[in-house]
Amino acid sequence: MWGTIDGRDVIYTIVGLALFGLTLQPALQRYKVFNLPLLYVLIGAALSAAGMLHIDPLRGGWQSGVVEHAAELIVIISLAGAGLAIDTPASWRRWNPTWRLLVVTMPLTIGAVAFLGSSWLGLSLPAALLLAAALAPTDPVLARSVQVSPPGKGETAMEVALTAEAGLNDGLAFPFIYLAIHAATLGVSQMVGGEAWLWSWIGFDVLYRVAAGVVVGIAVGWLISRIIFSPIGDGSQGAWNAVVVILSATLISYGVTEAIDGYGFLAVFCATRSGRSRTRNTDDEGYEKYAHHGAEQLEAILLAILLLWLGTFVGAGALSGLTWQEVAFALLLIFILRPLAGLLALIGFDCPRFQRNSVAFFGIRGMGSVFYIAYAQNHADFGDIDMVWRIAVVVILVSILVHGYAANIFLGGEDLVETHPYKEDTQDG
């Protein structure tokens, strides 16, 4: 006899189908109307409307904790993949557009979002700062469609700029998350009346945490690469465990850095860049293709699950109380604020107009924003956190829709899950 359907079994089946769907994407990607992230969000929303249980970060407690750590995991894996993917060595000249985006575009975006969030949307100053810091960085996860190809596949200056920006600005946005947390914890009046918090924020949250992330990341990447290519390392044993290596390197660099209160996001990106720089133009070069493929696979699995969750969150009422001003703000950010800030940053930089416009326009928002808001919510009390979530979800949905189709139409799109990196080698025998 048929028994009662267990919700757990339904979840297993849905997630299994979602993961299997990833394998069909390379064939379906040729159709410009195909947008897999949007499809998964819609499926999640339908499941939620049908009564499927969901995780709601607005309830706080373990639910916001689960969302925080799930988003945290996918971001650090994505950062590891981004660090491995870039073939262009880092330097002031080669990565000039990236430095411009970090120094000009991100601060301008933070300032504009904080100002509009407070003056137009009516958010409290702590919540406006949180929204600004969460929405300013280009997401390393959903921006995969406009970033560099796998290692050794060639890359344009535009792709390098967006990939390196996404790799670095998640860590550099963190000081502003802590600024929002300070504002929520201390109160605006106390912050204005005292300087102790300011020097602590500059000295610790900005200078120390950034430096710790960079230094520890470089050191861990160098050390792990030494072991990988030693006689007992995976690089000398056929590269059978590349996916395990990249996952372990990501977790080690992140964990060690966070243990000393540094920015783990920066550490992960710097660790993979350090490993690549050590093997460049040596007999060990090439291993990064296997490791990158592993990171892409892990990221795709987690992204499918998180997109389904985002859909359930939306379907369960995340947008309840949405106003036209909040929708207008999302459109303003996607179509005007980020592109304008990007164009201002690239003034005087010699590149084709299409590349300049693409770098300015494709400031995609996604899972990084989810992590930042959940993290801040779990570390301070924001009275209007529901409005922050609502606005961020709208921005992410608009980004998935607009940037996803724009990438398909103008850039050719990119697989959510990468095909095998050595398909050519296997065909050659």
Closest residue by Cα to residue 253 from 277, 272, 230: 272
- Residue 143 near residue 162, CB atoms below 8 Å: yes
Q: Which of 182, 68, 169 is nearest to 125 (CA)?
A: 182
pLDDT along the chain (429 residues), means of 10: 63 87 77 82 88 85 93 93 87 88 93 95 94 89 68 77 85 91 83 74 93 95 90 80 90 96 95 86 77 88 92 91 94 93 89 83 85 95 93 93 78 48 38
The identity of residue 333, as a single letter, is: L
pLDDT value of residue 425: 41
User: Which pLDDT value is given to residue 293?
Assistant: 85
In angstroms, the CA 292 to CA 300 distance is 12
Whole-number pLDDT of residue 15: 86
Look up tokens 């409307």; give the residue.
Answer: 49
User: What's the whole-model pTM score?
Assistant: 0.89
Q: What pLDDT, on the 0 to 100 scale, is given for residue 5? A: 60
Whole-angstrom distance, CA of residue 353 vs CA of residue 98: 17
DSSP 53: -
pLDDT at residue number 416: 44
Phi, psi of 246, deg, nearest 5: -70, -35
Determine the pLDDT at residue 359. Answer: 83
What integer pLDDT is reported at residue 27 of this predicted model? 76
| Helix count and strand count (H, E) for the chain | 21, 0
- Is there a contact between 417 and 97 (Cβ–Cβ < 8 Å)? no
At the topology level, CATH places domain 7-427 in Na+/H+ antiporter like fold (1.20.1530)
Q: Compute the chain's Rg from CA coordinates.
A: 21
The DSSP 8-state label assigned to residue 365 in this structure reads -
Residues whose CB is less than 8 angstroms from the CB of residue 340 and which lie 6 or more positions away in sequence, other chains included: 360
Rounded CA separation 22/73 (Å): 19
